Each structure stands twice: as structure tokens, then as C-alpha cells.
Chain A
């Protein structure tokens, strides 16, 4: 199985800040990576796929980059509704695997 490791596990930040979350794959996955946002009690929401392609309807303050084994999700100016947990997921091979999540908390 490909292991997906996110860092940090949590980050305390403020609205308006720039936030970057990283995800590392245990082996190369090309651009087969997605980022999801999950709020408490809700299903995950697809933000970015193909490592850098913004899902329809997702604000442009979200961006993704990387390929191979190292990836990042950046929120350029954090909005109050962005406080949530973020997960990466690879789709290069089966089984599909998720990272352990990064919680973005209010400072």
C-alpha cells in the first residue's frame, strides 16, 4: 500500500493568513492526488484533484501543487469557513489511501 503522510497534523492560524499543508507519498504517484475538506459532522468535499486542478465551485484561494511524492495545498488568505480538517488521497494504485488529516484551527 502507498502510505500518505500529511504535515502538520494541526495548525493554529488566523483568518487572512496563508496556510500550506503538505502530503508525502511513500512512492511516486505522478499527479494522482486529491485534497478534501471536511467539517465536523459532514462528508468530505473534493477541493483539488490531479494535484492542482480546482474542482468546480471551489474558491480560487485554494491551490495545489506537486508531483511524484511531494504535494502541497495552499490557502492564500484563510476565510472563517476554511477552518476544517483537510485530507489528501492518492488514486495512482489500489488500495486508495488517505493521509491522516490536518486540522486547521483558529488561533
Chain B
């Protein structure tokens, strides 16, 4: 059974750095084709893809946020970490991590519950 869960701060100040952790189970990021991505959703708005890390440590980023984003993995803990620097109130959103695999066309077939992050002073 594949599960993912996001954790991290729910309130951060402008200009600070956000670090979110996705802790997963039921799969390994060492398995060929597997990936974990981050997607966010501002309140009442659409989904926005942020970043993705694959089994071979291949990393992909949204070009509009690439200078502020870093995605890493901690294989020993079954975690994927996303950092977003220089936060602004427009970064207020629910942040989701999600699993991707070839059997689902590399789309996101399992999602975490999401974590609402508010950026405010």
C-alpha cells in the first residue's frame, strides 16, 4: 500500500525559507521509473507543478521557480524534501507530494493529504 504524507511548518514569514518533507511508504525511490513530485494549490485556485525527483536522482523544476526551489531525497528515511527560498505571500498554498510510476504513465497516482502553508508576517 502506497502512502505519502507532507510535514513542515504551516506559518512562515515573508523572505524566510520553507522546508517541506514528504515521508512515504509502500515503494522505493530506488526502483527504476519511480518518482516523487511536489504540486501546490493556492486557496481557490488551480494546481501548479513545482518539482519532481526520479529514482536515478534526476531532478526537474518549474522554470518559473527554479531559482528558489531545491528537491532532494533521503533514501534511508524514505523521504523527499522540498525547499523554497525567499517566501512571499503569493506562495501561500496547499502543498502536495505525489508518487509517479511507469504503470500510470508517469502521472501522479498516489497523493499525500497536503499541507496548507500560509506566508504572512
- Chain A residues near B (Cβ < 8 Å): 1, 32, 34, 36, 38, 43-46, 49-50, 53, 55, 87, 89, 91, 94-101
Asked whether A43 lies within 8 Å of B46 as measured between CB atoms, the reply is: no
B98-110 vs A: 1/0 string, CB under 8 Å? 1000001111110
Chain A residues with CB below 8 A from B109, complex form:
46, 49, 55
Chain B nearest CB, measured from A44 CB (Å): 6
Contacts A44-B47, A97-B49, A100-B46; is A91 near B112 (CB within 8 Å)? no
Can you list 29 A-B contacts with CB-CB less than 8 angstroms, sorted by A residue number?
A1-B63, A34-B105, A38-B47, A43-B96, A43-B98, A44-B47, A44-B108, A44-B111, A45-B111, A46-B107, A46-B108, A46-B109, A49-B104, A49-B105, A50-B105, A55-B104, A55-B109, A87-B46, A87-B47, A89-B49, A89-B107, A94-B52, A94-B60, A95-B49, A95-B62, A96-B37, A98-B46, A98-B47, A99-B46
Contacts A91-B106, A96-B49; is A43 near B62 (CB within 8 Å)? no
Q: Which bracket fits the contact residues of B?
A: 20 to 34
Enumerate B4-54 residues with CB–CB distance to A below 8 Å: 37, 39, 46-49, 52
Asked whether B49 lies within 8 Å of A98 as measured between CB atoms, the reply is: yes
Chain B nearest CB, measured from A46 CB (Å): 5
Chain B residues with CB below 8 A from A50, complex form:
105
**Contact residues of A: prevailing secondary structure:** loop
Asked whether B52 lies within 8 Å of A43 as measured between CB atoms, the reply is: no
- Chain B residues near A (Cβ < 8 Å): 37, 39, 46-49, 52, 60-63, 96, 98, 104-109, 111-114
Closest to B60 in A: A94
Chain B residues with CB below 8 A from A34, complex form:
105, 107-108
Contacts A95-B49, A96-B49, A100-B46; is A43 near B111 (CB within 8 Å)? yes
Chain A nearest CB, measured from B45 CB (Å): 8
Contacts A87-B46, A91-B105, A95-B49; is A43 near B113 (CB within 8 Å)? yes
Chain A residues with CB below 8 A from B98, complex form:
43
Contacts A95-B49, A95-B60, A95-B63; is A53 near B105 (CB within 8 Å)? yes
